């Protein structure tokens, strides 16, 4: 089955690096016109240049996903350039690692605003456009951290992703009658610049040891999952969370995995 996004317009937030950049490039490589939404201009423009160099089409819109005014401008510029919005892929997120005892209220609010409130703002801005078109795909990058497992020093991040999954299910229910699907993709450990900084070289090695598929995932692993959910072929899938983790959360314990290998 060849998946194509030919003729589709996709907004991808946090597309300046890591998973978001990979999603933007994969969408463009499969025919989509991509609106690269990113807070840092240099990163966002870099993604646009890479897409154009590969023969794709992209537009950069500097966007702080915490700011309603920026999101309004993002939707306005996307429609002005391309006349429609078919796919919203909200990937932007932050996860400063701080223990609960040391976490400030300001840091908690910043993480929840960036990771969760933004999903609400983006959905409210894009859904009316999709309703008029009688079709749309809303996709969120969630995580196994929060909805499935916990990570010490990431209580704010885990809370935001748990809330994101709950929001997506309700949005899926409310928009289903308009031909709009809403789904989440939950990455396990994916080797991005941010994860490398969080875990460090030794942490990466230790994490890789407990992933049954044989190592830490690549940003492209998430991008291709998003590609399928963004496609026409996924039109009857909504309100679901697709875990892409190489089996990371499957073993009950390291011992359970060792027994399976024997």
* Strand partners of residue 13: 37
The structural domains of the chain, with segments of one domain joined by +, span 9-261
CATH topology (fold) of 9-261: Rossmann fold (3.40.50)
* Band of residue 1 on the pLDDT scale cut at 50, 70, 90: low
pLDDT band, residue 257 (cuts 50/70/90):
low
Say what the pLDDT of residue 124 is: 98
Active site residue 82: no
Average pLDDT over residues 30-46: 98
Per-residue confidence at 258, pLDDT binned at 50, 70, 90? Answer: low
Q: Quote the radius of gyration of the chain (alpha carbons, Å).
A: 18
Q: What is the mean pLDDT of the chain?
A: 95
260 — pLDDT class (breaks 50, 70, 90): low
> Is the CB of residue 3 less than 8 Å from the CB of residue 227?
yes
What average pLDDT does this structure show over 117-133? 98
Q: What per-residue confidence (pLDDT) applies to 204?
A: 86
Over residues 249-253, the mean pLDDT reads 86
Strand partners, 90: 140
The sign of the torsion formed by the CA atoms of 155, 23, 49, 80 equals: negative
Average pLDDT over residues 46-62: 98
Is the pLDDT at 55 greater than 60? The verdict is: yes
Q: pLDDT grade, residue 262 (50/70/90)? A: low
In percent, the amount of the chain with pLDDT more than 70 equals: 97
Say whether pLDDT at 259 is over 60: no
pLDDT of residue 251: 87
CB 136 within 8 A of CB 86: yes
Per-residue pLDDT tens digits for 102-113: 999 999 999 999
Global pTM? 0.95
For residue 95, the model assigns a pLDDT of 93
Cβ proximity of 8 and 35 under 8 Å: no
153-209 pLDDT, tens digit each? 999 999 999 999 999 999 999 999 999 999 999 999 999 887 788 788 888 888 888
pLDDT for 261 equals: 61
Let me know how long the chain is.
262
Q: Residue written as tokens 């196994």?
A: 144
Catalytic residue from among 95, 157, 175, 224: 157
What is the percent of the chain with per-residue pLDDT over 90, rounded to a whole number? 87
187, 227, 249 from 144: Cα distances, Å: 6, 19, 8
């Amino acid at each position: 089955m060849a998946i194509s996004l030919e003729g589709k317009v996709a907004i991808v937030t946090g597309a300046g690096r890591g998973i978001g950049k990979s999603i933007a490039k994969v969408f463009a490589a499969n025919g989509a016109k991509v609106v690269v939404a990113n807070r840092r201009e240099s990163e966002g423009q870099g993604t646009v240049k890479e897409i154009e160099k590969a023969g794709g089409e992209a537009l950069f819109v500097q966007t702080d996903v915490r700011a309603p005014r920026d999101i309004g401008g993002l939707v306005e510029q996307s429609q002005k350039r391309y006349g429609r919005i078919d796919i919203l892929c909200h990937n932007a997120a932050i996860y400063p690692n701080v223990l609960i005892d040391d976490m400030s209220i300001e840091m908690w609010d910043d993480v929840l605003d960036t990771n969760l409130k933004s999903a609400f703002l983006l959905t409210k801005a894009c859904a009316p456009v999709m309703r008029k078109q009688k079709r749309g795909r809303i996709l969120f990058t969630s995580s196994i951290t929060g909805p499935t497992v916990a990570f010490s020093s990431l209580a704010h991040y885990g809370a935001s992703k748990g809330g994101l999954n709950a929001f997506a299910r309700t949005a899926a229910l409310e928009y289903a009658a308009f031909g709009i699907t809403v789904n989440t993709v939950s990455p396990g450990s994916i080797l991005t610049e941010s994860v490398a900084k969080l875990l460090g070289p030794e942490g990466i090695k230790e994490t890789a040891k407990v992933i049954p598929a044989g190592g830490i995932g690549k940003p492209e692993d998430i991008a291709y999952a998003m590609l399928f959910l963004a496609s026409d072929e996924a039109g009857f899938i909504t309100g679901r969370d697709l875990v892409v983790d190489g089996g990371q959360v499957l073993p009950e314990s390291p011992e359970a995995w060792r027994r399976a290998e024997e």
